Amino acid sequence: MKHYDYIFFDLDGTITQSEFGIIRSARHALLKMNIDTSGESDKDMQKFIGPPLHHSFSVFYGMSDEDADKAVKLYREYYEVEGIFDAPLFEGMEEVVKTLSSKGKKLYVVTSKPQVSAKRIIEYFHLDDYFTAVIGPDKSEKSPNKKQLIERAVAENEIDDLRTVIMIGDRKYDIEGANGAKVDSVGVLYGYGNLEELTEAGATYIVENPLDILAVIG
């Protein structure tokens, strides 16, 4: 087993089961943009979990840059009031975080969600004592890149040896970002990706449940 000192966690789909608030907020924004999503199941709408919002509205619904900006604003107006905490922790995640922290690991959240929102969520679930920092984009960034966010976390925390860093996430964006930043990764199957996606992205390890993370890192 390799030794990892710095553990980077994705947020949505890795720490929190965030589909509920995200899907409701996406449907709200699309309705306001006169796009009917009644024919799309909640499973279909899980496509919003992982990629940056601006990207999702542009790619999935063919919006112009201007319309995607409007949709993101509508999404956030709803999400920050109605949806932000509608995202329970995955069962076992609190134990994972506490255990790793107790072993002296340095834990970070590295997410494409705006940093201010991610911090509110970590504080809401009383996990802020276990995380050294939350790294995410500011709201003006339209398409935050996971590779760049990982590299920012490494630089801001003056981490010298990339071999001691590992990124944990549920989607290809997390794994591809880790590979691009030259750090190892854990793909988790309990989130919103799947085995094929995580394998093709090149995950160093793949686990089924939150507690399995401890077998890889602990």
pLDDT of residue 140: 79
Distance CA 34, CA 30 (A): 6
- The pLDDT of 207-218, averaged and rounded, is 94
pLDDT of residue 141: 74
Q: Does residue 173 or residue 139 have the better pLDDT? A: 173
198 phi and psi, to 5 degrees?
-75, -35
pLDDT tens track for 40-74: 999 999 999 888 899 999 999 999 999 999 999 99
Contact 184, 201 (CB under 8 A): no
Say if residue 82's pLDDT is above 70: yes
Q: With H, G, I as helix, E, B as strand and everything else as coil, classify residue 35.
A: coil
Contact 20, 42 (CB under 8 A): no
- The pLDDT of 205-211, averaged and rounded, is 98
Say if residue 97's pLDDT is above 90: yes
- In the chain, what percentage of residues exceed pLDDT 70? 98
Mean pLDDT of the chain: 95
* pTM attached to this predicted model: 0.90
Q: Which domains does the chain have, with CATH numbers?
A: 6-17+88-217 (3.40.50.1000), 19-83 (1.10.150.240)
Confidence category of residue 1, pLDDT binned at 50, 70, 90 = low
pLDDT tens track for 128-143: 999 999 999 997 777 6
Sign of CA dihedral 182, 94, 195, 37: negative
Read off the tokens for 110.
Answer: 């590295």
Distance CA 67, CA 113 (A): 20
Residue 179: closest CA among 165, 196, 160: 165
∠ CA 193-195-197, rounded to 5°: 60
pLDDT tens track for 6-47: 999 999 999 999 999 999 999 999 999 999 999 999 999 999
Please report the DSSP string for 72-126 in residue order: HHHHHHHIIIIITT--PBPTTHHHHHHHHHHTT-EEEEE-SS-HHHHHHHHHHTT
Catalytic residue list contains 12: no
- The pLDDT of 188-206, averaged and rounded, is 97
pLDDT of residue 50: 81
- The pLDDT of 110-118, averaged and rounded, is 94
CA 191 and chain centroid, separation: 10
Sign of CA dihedral 164, 121, 141, 69: positive
pLDDT of residue 52: 86
Q: Considering 5, 10, 129, 161, which one is annotated as catalytic?
A: 10
